[in-house]
């Protein structure tokens, strides 16, 4: 009977595994995007310090990058500890 149960449950368990993998990949991409924006901010600060860009350009680009970073942080799921409480 266990073999029959496994065969009948296989489509559902396969879908659950696929959804878990998609979620993990999306979370990983969000983390990578956050790191990329942080690197862009570092570059922006360096350009300002070396005189490569003006203060106005810096302010505009910094605002855009920080808004994107805030949006990413808002989309992150709560930590596992908070869900249990």
Distance CA 72, CA 33 (A): 8
The domain locations on the chain are: 2-75
- Assessment of whether the complete model's pTM goes beyond 0.85: no
Quote the mean pLDDT of the chain.
85
CA distances from 15 to 10, 22, 76 (A): 9, 11, 23
- Give the mean model confidence (pLDDT) for residues 13-19: 90
Q: What backbone torsions phi and psi does residue 68 show, to the nearest 5 degrees?
A: -65, -40
The pLDDT of residue 48 is 92
- Give the mean model confidence (pLDDT) for residues 13-31: 89
Whether residue 81 has pLDDT greater than 70: no
pLDDT band at 85 (very low <50, low <70, confident <90, very high): very low
């Amino acid at each position: 009977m266990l073999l029959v149960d496994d065969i009948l449950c296989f489509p559902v368990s396969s879908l659950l595994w696929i959804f878990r993998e998609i979620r993990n990949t999306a979370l990983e991409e969000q983390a990578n995007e956050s790191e990329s924006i942080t690197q862009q901010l570092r570059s922006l600060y360096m350009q300002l310090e070396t005189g490569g860009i003006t203060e106005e350009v810096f302010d505009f680009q910094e605002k855009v990058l920080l808004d994107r970073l805030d949006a990413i942080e808002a989309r992150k799921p709560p930590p596992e500890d908070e869900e249990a409480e």
